[in-house]
Amino acid sequence: MTANLHLWLIPLLPLLGAAINGAFGKRFSRQLVSAVGLAGSGAAFLYALWIASQYSALATAMPIVDKTLGTWIKAGTFQADFAFQLDQLSFVMLLIVTGVGFLIHVYSVGYMWEESGYYRFFCYLNLFLFFMLTLILAANYLLMFIGWEGVGLASYLLIGFYFTKDSAANAGKKAFIVNRIGDFGFLIALFLLIQHFGTLDFTLLADKIVPLGSEAGWGLLSSIGVLLMVGAAGKSAQIPLYVWLPDAMEGPTPVSALIHAATMVTAGVYMVSRSHVIFDRAPQALLVVAVIGCATAFFAATIGICQTDIKKVLAYSTVSQLGYMFLGCGAAAYSAGVFHLMTHAFFKGLLFLAAGSVIHSLGGEQDMRRMGGLRKEIPWTFWTMTAGTFAIAGFPFFAGYYSKDMILWKVSQHNPILFGFGLLTAFITSFYMFRLWFMTFFGERATAEAGHGHHDQAPAAHGHDDHGHDGHGHGHAGGHAHESGWLMLFPLVVLAILSVIGGWMVGGGEGFAKFLSPVFSVGLAADPTEVAGGMSEGFVSALATVAFLLGLGLAWFLYVRRKNIPAQIAQNLGGIYSAVLNKYWVDEIYATVIVNPMMAISRTVLWQGIDRKVIDATLDDAAAGANQLSGEVRKMQSGNIRSYAAWVAAGAVLVVGYMMWMGAAR
């Protein structure tokens, strides 16, 4: 069975689609471009479904390693293969990436149909799937890193898809640069693994690390774990490297759904989970993961409260939910983190696509203050987005209820303080998501003029470019909204169903954890951080449900019942509200402390000082000297016979004088 899997075919299929559209798509019709793009992603999904159908026969043989592609690097005792691996963890990721990816490809056909560069968009989407599938199927860190860097490249291309727009081009560059900072930590971790263990192969590393036991303090494995977390913080937008993801909303909405909600940003969570053998023996590194995850979840959630751009609300929500996943992993509850990764792919992918449908129906409008009353005009979008909203907020028995509660329960057994912040974040999540829901679909539609004077009283020009991000033009929110076509609605319906049943269809948290146990139980004698006591799972679930209800009730009271109160609260809070509205000025602080000084040093020292005054000056002076010398020599070739005779005579004198000097020397 294992010899017939040919895992390398799975990433190859979307790569072929990217190559065909990239090379010939400009001459293709849009129908043919769509067919090629959908064929590449759809074939990978069908292959994943075939593997799923064979699971009962494969389960006992996992992990399955396909090394048929041969050796990549061999230097001394170090060897890295072009090898792919299938186990329960990569199996889950494979179904998520290909399944959600294919649905978003279908959605993109309808959403991007009128856009220029249509073939280029599908080329980039297929290219992203190739790199993401390489990342999750890799059997060693080096091949994973190739996929890791590749999804960063694809993200840069897709965020900056509207490259003629400065804001989009700058957002793409920002994402690329911030991710390179994180990748620096990832690379150092890989160098340490090579130096101390001589391999980057997951199986061989496990064999060498398991006997080491848990570190009592700060040691090698803790250092490697923290460095891996630095890489994960860049890719998965965690503090302090989260700043690129909100700006990434400059890309088309399908990009936000595929890359910045469902797949690429979860790569850091996957990498930490894949590295569990290291983290299980490094409690200090686990604590770092948990603290960063908890801080990011709470911090980003507070920013989401005051955002008025519908995509920005979802962007900060994504950062917050990714923090939840790291919080789970930091509590050594990797199954809970991956479970939330899966359910989040369903409901956050749905929420972004539904937001895109809202934006599409309003001709490009993204400001929620100019929306309202849309539930009757776009009912399919309303009901599907309702499913996603209730799922992320933690409505009982929806997908997010199971995965978020599982994380909170595990964290409650390890650190009561982190649990308290996690529970508070659950309340804030419920509040800002229902705020979005009520402002978008309930009440009456705000006119363009009135849109600046109600709800939160946030000025329209506080740093957002709210209109026409997706190239649909600037619509008037006061006009009649139109429902999206079925190419866009079909993925919404499928993801809405998964957002409702995605939790219990895998047996809830316990069933999912049991499925992944063969991966996460490798070399683990006991939970490395668990302490005695802790609350029961039922009690934690009850507290989370109360947080959900409080968030829903507060949002209803402020944005349906008493709409004048948010403006009063904003006025009374003063500086606190201003700080949250301006995202705590983190971008401005980074610009002042890091970016501007680096630009000044680059401009003054590296460019003006070294490049121009040393390197250029050396070359320029050499060139000037050669030019001056040639000018003097050129005077010998004046064309004057008397001048030539004089030079010949002078030359003869020099030759005779030299010969006489040589004779005297002898």
pLDDT digits (tens, 9 = 90+) for 472-504: 443 444 567 788 888 899 999 999 999 999 888
Rg of the chain over all Cα atoms, to the nearest angstrom? 30
Question: Is the pLDDT score of 437 beyond 90?
Answer: yes
Q: What is the mean pLDDT of residues 633-652?
A: 76
- pLDDT, residue 644, reads 75
Could you identify the residue written with the tokens 């146990």? 517
Q: Which two tokens stand for residue 564?
A: 């004048």
pLDDT in tens, 276-317: 999 999 999 999 999 999 999 999 999 999 899 999 999 999
Token look-up 């640069």 returns 177
pLDDT, tens digit, for every residue of 68-90?
A: 788 888 888 898 989 999 999 99
Assign 466 a pLDDT band (cuts: 50, 70, 90).
very low
- ∠ CA 127-133-139, rounded to 5°: 135
> What confidence category does residue 238 fall into, taking pLDDT thresholds of 50, 70 and 90?
very high
CA distance 54 to 4: 11
Answer whether residue 4 shows pLDDT above 80.
Answer: no
Check whether the bond before 597 is cis (ω within 30° of 0).
no
**Lowest mean per-residue pLDDT among 68-82, 172-186, 223-237, 328-342:** 68-82
| pLDDT of amino acid 662 | 80
When pLDDT is cut at 50, 70 and 90, the band that residue 467 belongs to is very low
Is this prediction's pTM over 0.85?
A: yes
The per-residue pLDDT of the chain, averaged, comes to 87
CA distance 577 to 646: 90
pLDDT at 463: 34
pLDDT at residue 129 is higher than 90? yes
The pLDDT of residue 464:
35
Measured from the Cβ of residue 169, the count of other Cβ atoms closer than 10 Å reads 16
Q: How far apart (Å, rounded) are the C-alpha atoms in residues 641 and 478?
A: 92
Residue-wise pLDDT for 8-46, tens only, equals 999 999 999 999 999 999 999 999 999 999 999 999 999
Tokens of 262: 């469902």
pLDDT at 410: 92
Whether residue 270 contacts residue 93, with contact meaning beta carbons closer than 8 Å, is answered with yes
Q: Is the pLDDT of residue 529 over 70?
A: no
pLDDT for res 450: 41
What's the pLDDT score for residue 439? 93
- What six digits make up the tokens of 525? 């004698």
Nearest to 93 by CA among 48, 50, 123, 125: 48
- Work out the number of other CB atoms within 10 angstroms of the CB of residue 473: 11
- Give the span between the Cα atoms of 423 and 103, in whole angstroms: 32
**pLDDT tens across 577-635, in order?**
888 888 888 989 999 998 889 888 888 888 888 888 888 888 877 888 888 878 777 76
Average pLDDT over residues 368-378: 90
At 498, give phi and psi (nearest 5°): -65, -35
